[in-house]
Amino acid sequence: MHDRPLTTTSVPSGRVLSIDVLRGITIAFMILVNDPGDWGHTYAQLDHAKWNGWTLTDLVFPSFLFIVGASIILSLYSRVARGDSRRDLGVHIVRRSVTIYVLAMVLNIVPYFHFTHLRLYGVLPRIALCYLCAGLICLVTQRARDLLAIVAVLLVGYWVLMRFVPVPGCGIPVRDIPLLDPDCNLAAWLDRSVIGFIQRTIHTGYLYEKTRDPEGLLSTIPAIATTLLGAVSALWLRRVEATKGNGAAFPATKAQCATALFLVGLMNMAAGLLWNVWFPINKNLWTSSYVLFAAGCSLVGLAACYWLIDVRRLHETRVGGWLTWPWLVFGSNAIVAFTVSVVLVKTLLFIRISSVLGPNGKPVTAWGWIYNNLFARGNSTDLTSLAFGLWFVLMCFIPNWILWRKRIFVKI
């Protein structure tokens, strides 16, 4: 592969619509699995695996980070084409990361503003950290081989830490404790230590699962690798236009690029399943095998979207336009959609219907009233819970649709 430096030459015109569509599908599915009507009734594939293993839900977050990585590359080249310097790009990356993290903290404290009970980890904080680290790395080098080497170091290094480093108070993994024990693992110990220190010093912070956090500090290392794999895929996509017609090596056409993405995706999935034998696939700990497997699934999904949209031009047909339009609307303002979902959840849980008492003798929330009266009607099932989730996705879609109609695209 002939890698190109970050310059204003050979910049493809237009957007890669397949990435926008994949981002929209991902954020819609993320909202769906996050917000069922009744957590006691959900289809297995719409909930996370309890520990080792995976479900479709476990592929959502890594897919989003994968797309973040791809967007980093496309954004860097686009901004350079507009005349931005490397310093400007670095400032933009840092500022955007800080903005996303601050947004996460604001959403955490609303509506009760309990500053002593603030979750410092989470989905948006992980996005902010991965965007920051991957963005700065891509600012330094856009060579695919360099990025893949960094990915290898991150994944192997994380495996070494989790497999061989003794866990204080527990022992050495495999010899004294099971590998990836839920509480006795290095990532969980580090999160407890960090949050404990923060609680003692600034009197805030907590872990999502009390003894551990699925978006903890140490597991952010392999999550950065997920983001960088997305960046590598975007470098491939750029080469289709950047090398078109100049006799460059594979991939030279969009069809060939789609095929390459698909085959590499299958190879990543196979590698992840193979590594799973020694280092189990685990979303909570974001294990190295999970990174490879999930990235493989993302590559297959991107290959499918790329072939349908950028190769076959599905969106230019009447039926295809209707099929792709909702995902373009969601994908155009993905962070807005996620923010709306969080605000809507908190609002529905904050409002209480004083005239209706629940089983605990307290007024039911607006969320509970809507679900019980409009969907479950006294008989909550997996299907009624899914129906509520689909309705909730539609409610989150409406603000994005309004922004789309007004051609407003929020840039954080």
pLDDT of res. 243: 55
Q: Which residue has the tokens 């992980």?
A: 126
Report phi then psi at 53, rounded to 5: 100, -175
Q: Is the pLDDT of residue 244 over 60?
A: no
Cis peptide before 178 (omega within 30 of 0): no
Evaluate whether residue 6 is within a structural domain.
no
Burial class from Cβ neighbours inside 10 Å (0-12, 13-18, 19+) for residue 359 reads: exposed
pTM, two decimal places = 0.90
Evaluate whether residue 11 is within a structural domain.
no
Report phi then psi at 65, rounded to 5: -65, -35
Evaluate whether residue 392 is within a structural domain.
yes
- Spatial contact of 307 and 255, defined as CB atoms under 8 Å apart: yes
Helices 288-305 and 144-164: crossing angle, nearest 10°?
150
Burial class from Cβ neighbours inside 10 Å (0-12, 13-18, 19+) for residue 279 reads: buried
18-27, 33-42, 311-320, 328-337 — which is least confidently predicted? 311-320
Q: Is the pLDDT of residue 7 over 60?
A: no
Evaluate whether residue 375 is within a structural domain.
yes
Burial class from Cβ neighbours inside 10 Å (0-12, 13-18, 19+) for residue 247 reads: exposed
pLDDT of res. 115: 85
Dist. CA 381–CA 164, nearest whole Å: 44
Q: Is the pLDDT of residue 328 over 80?
A: yes
User: Which whole number is the average pLDDT over 217-232?
Assistant: 97
| Residue range 374-408, pLDDT digits in tens | 998 888 999 999 999 999 999 999 999 999 998 88
The vertex-80 CA angle with 64 and 255, nearest 5°, equals 55
The vertex-259 CA angle with 256 and 263, nearest 5°, equals 140
Q: How many domains does the chain have?
A: 1
Q: The tokens of 147 are what?
A: 């990025």
Evaluate whether residue 412 is within a structural domain.
no
Dist. CA 194–CA 197, nearest whole Å: 5
Q: The tokens of 366 are what?
A: 């607006």
Within 8 A by CB and 6+ apart from 351, the residues are 365, 366
Cis peptide before 5 (omega within 30 of 0): no
Dist. CA 48–CA 283, nearest whole Å: 8
Give helix then strand counts, H and E, for the chain.
13, 2
Mean predicted lDDT score pLDDT of the chain: 89
- Spatial contact of 64 and 29, defined as CB atoms under 8 Å apart: no
Evaluate whether residue 411 is within a structural domain.
no
| Residue range 139-174, pLDDT digits in tens | 999 999 999 999 999 999 999 999 999 999 999 999
Evaluate whether residue 2 is within a structural domain.
no
Domain enclosing residue 60, as ranges: 17-405
Nearest to 279 by CA among 155, 186, 147: 155
- H or E segment to which residue 25 belongs: helix 17-34
6-15, 90-99, 304-313 — which is least confidently predicted? 6-15
Burial class from Cβ neighbours inside 10 Å (0-12, 13-18, 19+) for residue 354 reads: exposed
Q: Is the pLDDT of residue 11 over 50?
A: no
pLDDT of res. 357: 65
| Residue range 53-81, pLDDT digits in tens | 999 999 999 999 999 999 999 999 888 88
DSSP letter assigned to residue 306: I
Evaluate whether residue 104 is within a structural domain.
yes
Dist. CA 165–CA 171, nearest whole Å: 9
Quote the percentage of the chain above a pLDDT of 70: 92
pLDDT of res. 240: 73
